[in-house]
Amino acid sequence: MKLSLVFPPILGLLFLSCLASATNSHQNTFIHCLVNHSQPSHPITSSIFTPNNSSFSSVLNDYVRNLRFNTSTTRKPYLIITALHVSHIQASIICAKQHNLQMKIRSGGHDYEGVSYVAEVPFFILDMFNLRSIQVDVENETAWVQTGAQLGELYYRINEKSKVHGFPAGVCPTVGVGGHLSGGGYGNMMRKYGLSVDNIIDAQIIDVNGRLLDRKSMGEDLFWAIKGGGGASFGVVLSYKIKLVKVPKIVTVFQIRKTLDQNASDIVYNWQHVAPTIDNDLFIRLIIDVVNVTQNATNNGAKTIRATFISLFLGDSKTLVSLMNEKFPQLGLKESDCIETSWLQSVLFWTNIDITTPVEILLNRKPQSLVNYLKRKSDYVKEPISSKGLEGIWKKMIELEDAILYFNPYGGKMAEISSTDTPFPHRAGNLWKVQYQANWNKAGKDVADHYIGLTRKLHRYMTPFVSKNPREAFFNYKDLDLGINHNGKNSYAEGRVYGVEYFKDNFDRLVEIKTKVDPDNFFRNEQSIPTLPHRKN
């Protein structure tokens, strides 16, 4: 027994001695602190990666999902801690406070602005990818899922235990559970079951004092805050207990594309009246992009608008076609357009993976498509857009050419849940959410400025058609154009600018909770929840 207690610290000292010649004394001191505060039964040394480690770059880059934040000039972390045990998280918090280092918490790396893995000040990454256990309890229709797991893994493990259960979260299988759930992530069952956060019933979090808390011990205020207010402002969320939802054995999916000469304008006009009000079992996403007109003698190189309707229906194709013929005949859906499949395989369809692919592909933690440079923005629409308004949007998009719009319909369960039930406030009164996209695959500041500029120009053009006072935005579509918090003496004023757009009136409650649980603002980033101004930041 004595050997088991003494041996890990010896390993830690050997580890330190190997690093001594390659790292500066401050780094060694920080690592020494980590080793001293980790449990002998769970040594932290194998979880620490410094820039001198041959695996450092691969560990850093494996979960970078936006190449804008992986350039030669991007500030790199001081080190990366790939936590294997809760004690590693506790040691990271304690030592970061002692050494005044900023800690960035990463689960899947899908933060659109790279906030989980870049900073303008010296920082380190607490990477959660090793903490990804999933325990499904079909009898009680619940599951515990650690925040380092990805959505594809969660869906696969649920399906392993039950073919008639699922979870209403995102359609991208490599998105990390931690950021997705804590920020109010949504999916194509939200009109039926609400958001992911509407189906969380417990959680585990490590607070600023290193305590491991569950819902009972953290209290209802903090539990409320980490269900849509962004967990990284309040602590390190280790796991969530979620409520599983019922799905039929057979669901139906379809994708239909229409261009302007195929009556896309009229179909889109009708979509906005139908999609938020139709049966809650049906979700119809609309994607608008610019494509080439079919080449011919008179239209060589001309551009047009393409509208893509992609859908999930919790039922069979015959029922779906009957419903669509009654409510949305303009689309002209036929049974031959539909694919009947399982709920799990529908995830493949929505991710543009061949639906016949073995579902084990959902366990692959690397994205199936190439990681690109990207920019995202968001908006909310509360009133239908006139035909003339749509025509103006088409004209602007053709002018910009490479900007894309995603429209995600609300209504259903989303309109039934109070705007204060969780920090996510965008409920009744919203017809759909807009996502602005630009994607590119060439490096360089000029190229990036061009594509980022496209999203800003389209966002500006859309001003008359979207919410006002405030102009609402979705927290999980992180957008630093809305404001950046430098976490200094003006932290509250800076935070309020973007905070009200993301959280509306819920921002004030989030600030009060933040001030109570993290008064010195240890858990901070470029768009975190600030403390009240009379408290020290």
Report pLDDT digits (tens) over 468-521. Answer: 999 999 999 999 999 999 999 999 999 999 999 999 999 999 999 999 999 999
Phi, psi (degrees; rounded to nearest 5) at 230 = 90, 105
Query: How much is the average pLDDT of 389-396?
Result: 98
Please compute, for residue 353, the number of CA atoms within 13 A of its CA located in the half-sphere on the CB side.
22
pLDDT of residue 49: 98
For the chain, give the percent of residues with pLDDT over 70.
94
DSSP 162-219: -TTEE----S-TTSBHHHHHHTT---TTHHHH--GGGGEEEEEEE-TT--EEEHHHH-
What pTM did the predictor assign?
0.94
Is pLDDT above 70 for 18? no
Under 8 Å between Cβ of 346 and 312 = yes
pLDDT of residue 102: 97
Report pLDDT digits (tens) over 180-236. Answer: 999 999 999 999 999 999 999 999 999 999 999 999 999 999 999 999 999 999 999
Q: Longest C-alpha distance within the chain, in Å?
A: 86
- Chain centroid offset of residue 76 CA: 22
Phi, psi (degrees; rounded to nearest 5) at 123 = -155, 165
Which one is predicted more confidently, 24 or 195? Answer: 195
Residue that is written with structure tokens 């309020």 in the block? 496
Is pLDDT above 80 for 2? no
All domains of the chain, ordered by start, with CATH?
Answer: 2-127 (3.30.43.10), 134-246 (3.30.465.10), 251-338+371-465 (3.40.462.20)
Query: How much is the average pLDDT of 98-107?
Result: 97
The conformation of residue 272, written as its DSSP 8-state character, comes to H
pLDDT of residue 188: 98
DSSP 129-157: TT---EEEETTTTEEEEETTSBHHHHHHH
Task: Using alpha carbons, list the distances in angstroms from residue 433 to 177, 287, 356, 465.
Answer: 21, 12, 31, 12
Q: Which residue out of 155, 156, 451, 477 is catalytically annotated?
A: 477
pLDDT of residue 368: 86
Closest Cα to residue 245, out of 285, 284, 190? 190
Is pLDDT above 50 for 8? no
Is pLDDT above 70 for 162? yes
Is pLDDT above 70 for 403? yes
- Mean pLDDT, all residues of the chain: 94
pLDDT of residue 14: 46
Is pLDDT above 50 for 21? no
Closest Cα to residue 8, out of 87, 126, 95, 98? 87
Is pLDDT above 50 for 535? no
Pairing of strands 303-313, 282-292: antiparallel
pLDDT of residue 27: 83
Q: How confident is the model at residue 371 (pLDDT cuts 50, 70, 90)?
A: confident
pLDDT of residue 300: 67
Q: What angle do CA 442, 444, 448 make, to 5 degrees?
A: 80
Query: How much is the average pLDDT of 45-50?
Result: 97
Query: How much is the average pLDDT of 12-30?
Result: 60
Distance linking the first and last C-alpha atoms of the chain: 45
Query: How much is the average pLDDT of 384-398?
Result: 98
Give the neighbor-by-neighbor strand order of the sheet with 48-49: 48-49, 80-82, 123-127, 102-106
Is pLDDT above 50 for 16? no
Cβ partners under 8 Å of residue 220, min gap 6: none
Amino acid at 154: L
Q: Which two tokens stand for residue 90?
A: 């506790």
Closest Cα to residue 369, out of 176, 173, 189? 173
pLDDT of residue 23: 45
Which one is predicted more confidently, 104 or 10? Answer: 104
Which contacts qualify for 288-291: CB closer than 8 Å, 24 or more apart? 288/393, 288/397, 288/404, 288/405, 288/406, 288/407, 289/397, 289/404, 289/405, 290/397, 290/398, 290/400, 290/401, 290/402, 290/403, 291/259
Report pLDDT digits (tens) over 425-460. Answer: 999 999 999 999 999 999 999 999 999 999 999 999
Determine whether 492 is an active site residue: no
